[in-house]
Amino acid sequence: MMSFLRIKTLAVLSTTLLLAACGPGIPVLPDDPNNEPAAQQPSDGNSAQGGTELPSTETPGLVEPETPPPVATNPNDDVLSQYQHLDPNHIVPTKALETAVLYFHENKAKFKNQAVMSILDFSQKSTQKRWYFIDMKTGAVWNVHVSHGKGSDSNHDGFAEKFSNVEGSNASSLGFYKTAETYQGSNGYSLRLDGLSTTNSNARSRAIVVHGANYVQDSNVIQGRSWGCPAVSQANRDKVINLIKGGSLLYAFK
């Protein structure tokens, strides 16, 4: 009888330690078991300080009033004012939204799909809905859960800490992307990405794509890690891809 109780106690203790390793009450999803396949055929001064000069004591008469210096303005303010309707509920991180808007405005000709812009916030834990999709006409925002790469989160705590543009790093990459063509791959319906920054210029050759994955769920859990791809849940896959495909701007930052 004592032997049976000792075994049962040890079993309960082992289970408790295992759960504690995963975090205080936060489930951790498994990772992507396979690497991304090779690409398949697509389917579709002083004056500014306002210094005051004393009137001369040698010349009689009235002193002319000094013209006030011009007020310095931010040259980006005029651009940002054109997009004030975006994100009315202030869901998207403000600085990231401004950065993306300025890039979009300056490089508008590059983006065939100007109906939507998306922002991926890698500073947030994967338990959060950190991928934001902004309707450029109405300003409405929709956000979803998304994975990051194993190479960006070695201890699987849900935070992406390292980023890389190198083949085989299995890490996520930061910077501006342009969405490209869709294709059918090992993960089904998927979307290719072209990196527009020096930090993600190898996105296409690394097969960094948008796809659905069973290791991503629409709940506040630590999502499974990909091989560098921004994977979404299978339930959101088609909606996400169809919304941003065909040349829209994606900005990934931390």
pLDDT of residue 24: 55
Of 251, 217, 237, nearest to 27 (Cα)?
217
Domains detected in the chain: 77-254 (2.40.440.10)
pLDDT of residue 19: 37
- Which ranges constitute the DSSP H helices of 50-204? 77-81, 94-106
pLDDT of residue 199: 98
Q: Which residue has the tokens 């004012």?
A: 81
Please state, in angstroms and rounded to a whole number, the distance separating the CA atoms of residues 165 and 222.
24
Structure tokens at 231: 């994977």
Buried b (16+ CB within 10 A) or exposed e, 41-50: eeeeeeeeee
* pTM: predicted TM-score of the whole model, two decimal places: 0.76
- Which ranges constitute the DSSP H helices of the chain? 2-21, 46-49, 77-81, 94-106, 234-244
Each of the 254 residues of the chain gets a pLDDT tens digit; together they read: 444 444 444 444 444 433 344 445 778 888 877 655 444 555 554 333 344 344 444 445 555 566 666 655 788 999 999 999 999 999 999 999 999 999 999 999 999 999 999 999 999 999 999 999 999 999 999 999 999 999 999 999 999 999 999 999 999 999 999 999 999 999 999 999 999 999 999 999 999 999 999 999 999 999 999 999 999 999 999 999 999 999 999 999 99
Q: Which residue has the tokens 């010349």?
A: 59
Rg (CA), the chain: 26
pLDDT of residue 27: 86
Bridge-based pairing of strands 232-233 and 209-213 is: parallel
Q: What is the DSSP letter of 115?
A: S
Helix, strand, coil % (nearest 5) of the chain?
25, 20, 55
